[in-house]
Each structure stands twice: as C-alpha cells, then as structure tokens.
Structure 1
Amino acid sequence: MSANQPPPPYGAPHSPYPLTQPPGIPAGMAPLATPGQRFLARLLDTLILGVIWTLALTATGALKSAMDDPKDPDVAKSALSAVITFIVYFAYEGFMLARDGQTLGKKAARIRVAMLADGDVPGAKGWTRAAVYALPGVAQPIAIGPLFWLLNSLWLLWDKPFKQCLHDRAAKTVVVEAR
C-alpha cells in the first residue's frame, strides 16, 4: 500500500441512524417514533376529527336539533353525522398516508408511517391502515367504536418489537421519526 492511499474500510457502511433498532427493521430506517410522539400526532389529528364532526353535525341539522331540544335530539341526524364524519376522516387519513406517510398531526410531531419491509411510503397500504383506524368509529353509537379505538391505540404499549397498533399490523407498517 502506498503512502497516499487511504486505509481499507472496516466493516459495512455506517447507517445515519443508531444501531439500537429492533431486529427486523431494515438497515438505515429512521428510529421508531416514541409513544409520546404518536400521542401528540393523534391528539392533533383528533382536533381535525372534531372539526369534521362539528361540520357534519351542522350540515345534517343534528347540532341545531340537540340545541333546540337537548332532552330529545334527532338520533337519525346524529347517526348520519357519525357516518359522514368517519368516512371523511377515513378519506383524510387514507389520502395523507398513501401520499407521503404523514397526516397533519404526524407532520407536526415529525413522525411518519413507513412500510415495515423497506421503510417506503405506504401507498395503497395507507388506505388499509386508515380503514382499520377510522371506520370502526362509525360504530360509536353502540360503544364498539370507542372500545376498539382504545384497545387499538394502546396496543403499541405492549407490542414487541415494533410498537405497532392494530392498524399498523393490518397494513404491515411502523411509525418512525421523520427527518
């Protein structure tokens, strides 16, 4: 070896991310998002859901009905509002995740959804993930929707090693830091 040649490299090229990733995460993928980051993102997206809900209640007349007679609101208008709300929310979440893996809440929390296999943007699987998350909300009037949402959202706390919720498992995605 001559004096002007660099020494040979040692080992594989270095990843820009820490090597503390769980086994099965593709090399070079960003670190998994923390539960706190995911909670913040979901909280912000829930505010968007609240706006959609309020608009649906207003558009169907359910809000006026409830304000006019709080003891006897129009249940059919309220149910229609729930269906509209969760279909619109499904469309919002599905479109945003399929496009770039981030809802507005995820953008603010600097996290994104990635395919577990390769770290890519979910594409069509974003719609699967959105369906499993949003559409059970239609069952809100009979308490199944909120119970599923609670179980689904808490699932990441005991899921090993990828901290996936049920909607992540269904779409084979993980939530990672966006850099």
Structure 2
Amino acid sequence: MSNDQPPPGPPDDDPFRKKPQEPQEPTGPGEATPPPADGPRAGGGSPYGSPYGGTGGPYGAGGGGQPPPYDGGAYGGPYGSADPLAGMPPLAPFGKRVLARIIDMIIVFVPLVLISLAFGGVEVTYGGDDWDEVADRVNSGRQWLWSLITLVAYVGYDTVMTAKSNGQTVGKKIMKLRTAMLNDGRAPDVGSSLLRAAVLWVPALVCCYCIWWLVIVITVLTDKPYRQGLHDKAGKTVVVSTTQ
C-alpha cells in the first residue's frame, strides 16, 4: 500500500475550481446546440398587455422583453409584423368614442355657460336689417375674448386629462376607453396630448366647426388599420378599449 500523499491544493475535480464550460457545437445534423444553463430569458410581452401598459419588455418596468409585435414603422419604429394589431387591445368602437366626446364636451360646456351668465351672458341678436351692427357685435373685443377662453378651456381640458390621467378623459373613463401612444402603448405625454387637442379643437372652434367635425369623423371611420383621426395622427396616438 502506497503512502504517497496527494499534492497540496484542491483536487482537479473540485467543482468550485472548474471554469464554466463553453457551449458545445452540434456534432451531427440531428443534434441541436444545448440551451444555456439558466434557461430562456423571460419575455416582457406587449406594452398593451394591461390597461395602462405592460410590466415587461423595453417599454415596461421589467425591461428585457420583446418589442411591440404590431407595426410601429409608420412613426419610426424598426419592427414589423404581419398583423399590425397583434398584441394590442381592441380598438375603441366608433360609437363609444362619440359618446365619450359628447360627455367631455358637456363637462367643459356647462362651466363655460355658468361663467358667461355671471358676466351678463352671451349676446344674441335676432332679426333686424342693420347687418353692420350685427357684425360689429360679433367682432367685438368681448366676443373674441370669450372665444379665446372657450378655446383654452377645451384644449386645456383635453391636454391635462389625457396626459395626467393615464390617457383617459372623464368621458373615456366612463366609456372604458383610453388614449395611448401607438408605438409603445404608454399614456401620451404633455407634448403629444397638447398637439392632439390643438388639432382637434382649434379648427373646430375658430373657423370651421361643422366641417372640421365631419373631417374628423370621416378619418376615424376610414383610417386603416388603427382608426386614427387627424388629431390621432398628429399626436401619434390610438384610442383603445380598456377594462378600467
């Protein structure tokens, strides 16, 4: 029996001394490269996976997920998909969008009427042949001031509610809808919300009320595949259904 002692130091087969093995190359046509030891990375999913954005992926809190599966190329997104609506919640039905807009208009209109009554009301002239007098009243400084107040009220309401309330105005919250950025599903920031509201309200209240609303309705009904009105295209947003 030999009395030779093993050399000093840990044995060669000590697992703490071994270096990580390099991935093995396939040795034949029927063999595949083995997966990493820690398994596949968890995917993040679409940012539209929850009513107010996902929790994984590069656009959610977790990070490291997959990019949106729908086509964001229209706004500079590098990703594409056969189905541009894949991963998104259902687009908002047109009827619900109209009802939500009516609710929001009433919410802004009622305080404006009360303020107007407090300052003597809006002067309306019926009949009479002195059209110059009528034009002078319409073009008076008071009338222009009131138009400016109305414009600021509607644009401000839409901007603040969209940017600060997860893309939901009061009308959209009642109808379970929300406005989201098309490229990543998050709530629009102040800049996008302001641009969207300005395109919607400035032409309608300044020059072409009925015609502009008709244009908005037609663009929402005919746009494919996202049902974007001109204001949605300006803000790069889409209106979708939500559970809250």
| Partners of 2:108 and 2:210 in 1: CA distance | 14
TM value normalised by structure 2: 0.57
Change (3 A) 1:58 1:119: same
Q: Considering Cα pairs closer than 8 Å and 6+ residues apart, tell me whether 1 or 2 has the greater RCO.
A: 1
What is aligned with 2:235?
171
Percent of pairs identical after alignment? Answer: 38
Which is helix-richer, 1 or 2?
1
1:93 aligned partner, one-letter code: D
| Partners of 1:87 and 1:62 in 2: CA distance | 19
| Partners of 1:62 and 1:147 in 2: CA distance | 27
Question: Is the Cα contact below 8 Å between 1:155 and 1:166 reproduced in 2?
Answer: yes
Question: Is the Cα contact below 8 Å between 2:89 and 2:240 reproduced in 1?
Answer: yes
TM value normalised by structure 1: 0.75
RMSD: 2.9
**1:162 and 2:226 aligned:** yes
What is aligned with 1:48?
107
**1:24 and 2:89 aligned:** no
Structure 1 stretches lacking a partner, 5+ long: 1-11
**1:132 and 2:191 aligned:** no
2:99 aligned partner, one-letter code: L
| Partners of 1:48 and 1:126 in 2: CA distance | 18
User: Aligned ranges for residues 146-157 of structure 1 at < 5 Å?
Assistant: 146-157=210-221
Give CA-to-partner distance per residue, 1:119-148, whole Å, 9 cap, x none: 1101121111111112223314xxx23311
Change (3 A) 1:161 1:33: same
| Partners of 1:56 and 1:89 in 2: CA distance | 14
| Bigger radius of gyration | 2
2:236 aligned partner, one-letter code: K
What is aligned with 2:156?
91
Q: 1:56 deviation in Å?
A: 4.8
What is aligned with 1:6?
none
Give CA-to-partner distance per residue, 1:26-66, whole Å, 9 cap, x none: x5332111101111101111212321441353355342x33
User: Aligned ranges for residues 58-97 of structure 1 at < 5 Å?
Assistant: 58-63=117-122, 65-66=123-124, 70-71=126-127, 74-75=137-138, 76=140, 77-97=142-162
